[in-house]
Amino acid sequence: MRHAYFDDRADAGRELARKLQAYAHRPEVLVLGLPRGGVPVAFEVAAALGAPLDVFLVRKLGVPGREELAMGAIASGGVRVLNEDVIAALGISTATLAAVSAAEEDTLARRERFYRGDRARLDVRDRIILLVDDGLATGASMCAALQALAQQAPRRLVVAVPVAPPDACERLRPQADEVVCGSLPADFQGVSEWYRDFSQTSDAEVRELLERAASSAGGRPTQVRLDRRP
């Protein structure tokens, strides 16, 4: 027997928002969606809580030839997080790391420009951040996002997802101030199994939702203060 079964990501977002009512109508709250599938969920959460919405991008830095193995990640705001153990164990050179980082930074920058247009990033410093995705599988992307956001001095980091396996949520608890998982099925097989409609979210849909959220907020977001790596 399933614990939850969502019609689509919008339905999941509305359900998730009910578990986040403690954050409703608080000016310090900011909702960040992980693209692409997390943004429709985050849009509904932000609307229900009366909070601003932005997107937070994370790109894995894969080891050349073994791209499934992460030697780090980059994220919105010019942040880079490195896995020093992997880098040392594999003897990855500074030049290799720089080349992989440059390629991923280019991809991230292009996507951010498309998603936001000329709107600036929302400032995360000293804010309560609700970091939203459409579900967790391994939690690797969410983990990288938390590490990157922690470098930008938020007041509180809250992971919020509609569905996840219990072990994935537990792995994130040491990195977040709070983890809100709408459903924790013991028979979890994959995020898509918990949605009637899990069709892919397009880049255009992400951009449209961000535009709608910015328009309903009645103004442009303030420019984020970047914590750039040395």
Domain boundaries, the chain: 9-55+117-217, 59-115
- pTM of the full predicted structure? 0.86
Calculate what percentage of the chain has a pLDDT beyond 70.
Answer: 92
**Going by CATH, does the domain composed of 9-55+117-217 fall within 3.30.43.10?**
no
Q: Are 161 and 188 in contact (CB under 8 A)?
A: no
Per-residue pLDDT, averaged over 177-188, amounts to: 90
The encoded tokens of residue 146 equal 């938390």
The pLDDT value given to residue 149: 94
pLDDT at 45 over 90: yes
Q: How many CA atoms lie within 13 A of 58 on its CB side?
A: 25
Q: Are 166 and 195 in contact (CB under 8 A)?
A: no
The pLDDT value given to residue 4: 56
The pLDDT value given to residue 153: 94
CATH class entry, domain 59-115: alpha beta
The encoded tokens of residue 23 equal 């954050």
Q: Is 180 helix (H, G, I), strand (E, B) or coil?
A: strand
Lowest mean pLDDT among 33-42, 44-53, 77-86: 77-86
Angstrom distance (rounded) from CA 43 to CA 90? 41
Top pLDDT among 188 and 37 is at: 37
The pLDDT value given to residue 60: 86
The encoded tokens of residue 196 equal 């009637």
Average pLDDT, the chain: 89
pLDDT at 24 over 80: yes
pLDDT at 157 over 70: yes
Q: Which helix (H) or strand (E) holds 158?
A: strand 156-163
